[in-house]
Structure formats: C-alpha cells, structure tokens
Amino acid sequence: MSGPRRPHAHAHDHRRVDHDGHAHERATEHGHGPNHDHGHDHGPGHSHPHGGVKGFLYALFVPHTHDSADAIDDAMEASTAGIRALKISLLILLATTALQAVVVAFTGSIALLADTIHNFADALTAIPLWIAFVLGRRAATRRYTYGYGRAEDLAGMFIVFVVALSAIVAGWQAIDRFITPRPIEHPWLLVAAGLIGFLGNEAVAIYRIRVGRRIGSAALVADGVHARLDGFTSLSVVLGAIGVLLGFPLADPIIGLLISVSIMVLLWGTVKSIGARLMDAIDPALVDRAERSLERTTGVAAVREVRLRWVGHRLTGAAVVDVEVPDLESARHIAAHAEAHVREALRNLDRFTVSPVSRAPLPRR
C-alpha cells in the first residue's frame, strides 16, 4: 500500500557519478502546475533504413550507438559491464583461435592461417580496451579535469593499428603461397574450421555490440562490428576449401589475399567512428532529444544552445535556455527541472549544466 500523493509534485532521483565511479544520490523535488507536461521523448528522433537488403545490412554492420532506452546510467556499473564483455569475448576468441590453429597444422591452409592470425589479433585488442575502461574509473584531477575517459578512444585507435598490421601479415603469407605453392590436406577440416571461426566471432559480435550500445561505448561497438566482419571472413575460408575440393588449389591463397584486402577496406568504417569521437562529433539525434526535453519543460521559453560531447562512453554537456521569470530563485528552479528532464532522456549523461537567461522584465522598485 502506498501513501497519499502530494498534488502536482514528484521527486526525481538523480545520480551524480564521479569519474571514479562513485554514485552520489540526491533527490530533488520539483513542484509543477496542473498543466505540467513532461514531454519526455525517448524515441530515436531520426530514421534509419529498415526494409529490404539495405536495411538488413545497415542493422548488421551499423548498429545504433545512441539508443538510451536501456542504457546504464551508473558510470561504475557501465565500466564493469564493459570489462565483463571484454573478458568473456577474449576467452571465446582465444578458444576459437586455438581450434583453428590446430586445423592449420593439419591442413596447411593459408586462407585459414590468415583468418587465425586475424582472430588472434582481434582477441588481443580486448586488452588495451580493458585497460582503458579501468583508467576511465579514475577520478578527475586538476590536470585531467574531464577524467580519463578519452583513454577508451585512444584504445580504439590502437585496435585499428593492430587489425591493420594483422591484415598486412596475412596478405604477405598469401603472396608467399603464390610463389611457393603447397598442397592443401584435409579440406573438409577447413570447412569445419571456417564454421568454428564464424560461430565464435558472431557470438562475440552480438555480445560486444549489445553491451557497447547499453553503455554508449563507440570503441566496444566498433570492436563488435569488427568481430562480425571477421565471422564472414571465416566463412570465406569455407569457399577456399570448396575450391580445393573442386580441383582448384589456388583458391586457398586467393581467398587469403581477399581476406586481407577486405579487412583493410572495412577497417575504414572503424577509423571514422573512433576519429569522430576524438573530434567531439556527436549524433545529432542526441542533441535533438536533449532539446526536446528542454523545450517541453514548464517555464522554458526557448532553447538557445545545447552542447554534448563524449568522454569515453559517458556524455557530458551544457545548455542555455530562456526563461520568463524575473527572479533568480525561480530561474534556478526551472533550470534544475530542465536538467532532470535531459537526464531522463539521456541516461548515460554525467555532467550537464543548464544556464537560465531571463526574458521577463525586472520588477520596478
């Protein structure tokens, strides 16, 4: 049984999360008039292709990173979820790589060797990202006033470097096999190994992308998309094995070379994603969502400016709004209420400041 409700008032439970992960609870009660309308819009605020082949590929390789409907709003919990995802995916990829390495020893397949090298490099990329998540928990200092969240984006650039290096090594191995051919043994084992690689990478991709979306980590989502692409390159090993079975032994090094080239081409999407974070790029849909939350706050006449930026997998920002009240106390009350609305719309938001500017004439004395 719940007690009687106070009319036209409700309590917002806000969490102020420091960069060391400690959450401080503060309950703020805002009074509203009878016509108060929250106007919280939790929808995406923009459209993406959903139908046909284009929509399928878009959803597969360009997963949303701004959907905060199920976002984790506690910084410590978000970092813990990210580290857990990296640990589990690291174990899965290492197990996949070990099984493929055994098959390489039996078959001598250069295509499978290229895929195995790449899967091993992909497993190792979890380590710098893991370190970045741990660093992100450290408290802000007078030198690093925004904390250490940027380490996550730097780890993303390191991931790009490692993946590119693995593609170069695999490509060199394929070219060498053209120069010095070697017969492929047990091609049916290649089919099994390719399927193992696909299943292992796809499991990792689903897990990383799901967690990355929840905590707002572009680096983790990009790593998940990369694992998904690796899964499809593992399927190409199956094609090479089928070519060998059909009497075309050069299919194996050809597929190995194609894997290396495809990795370099598809890596460009990851470079753009991580580079955009380093340049403080933000999805306009997030800005739209914050603006709508501010505009529909009682007492806000207009929104002058909204700024958002990512610091690792956490958002921070500020806004300037016009209010139609002459006294400072009322303006602060409206600003606090507007901030609460934005936090409800963007749950992975850390610091956000609303500065009210009064448009009402000052009372005459």
pLDDT band with cut points at 50, 70 and 90 for residue 364: low
Collapse the DSSP code of 125 into the 3-class scheme (helix H, G, I; strand E, B; otherwise coil) and give the result: coil
Smallest CA-to-CA distance from 336 within 36, 28, 42 is with 28
Residue-wise DSSP of 143-171: SSTT-STTHHHHHHHHHHHHHHHHHHHHH
pLDDT digits (tens, 9 = 90+) for 49-103: 544 544 444 444 445 444 444 455 556 777 788 888 888 988 998 998 888 888 8
Predicted pLDDT at 135: 87
82 close to 217: Cβ distance less than 8 angstroms: yes
Residue-wise DSSP of 61-113: HS--S---TT----HHHHHHHHHHHHHHHHHHHHHHHHHHHHHHHHH--HHHH
CA distance 41 to 38: 9
Predicted pLDDT at 352: 93
pLDDT digits (tens, 9 = 90+) for 210-220: 998 888 787 78
CA distance 223 to 154: 13
263 membership: H or E segment, kind and range = helix 251-278
319 close to 285: Cβ distance less than 8 angstroms: no
CA atoms within 13 A on the CB side of 107: 30
Predicted pLDDT at 163: 76
Region 253-276: mean pLDDT is 80
Predicted pLDDT at 313: 79
CA distance 323 to 326: 9
Tokens of 11: 């309590």
Judged by average pLDDT, the poorest of 103-117, 280-294, 309-323 is: 103-117
pLDDT band with cut points at 50, 70 and 90 for residue 126: confident
Tokens of 49: 């292709």
Predicted pLDDT at 114: 77
Q: What domains, with CATH codes, occur in the chain?
A: 52-278 (1.20.1510.10), 282-365 (3.30.70.1350)
pLDDT tops 70 at residue 228: yes
Smallest CA-to-CA distance from 284 within 14, 46, 2, 28 is with 46
Amino acid at 361: P
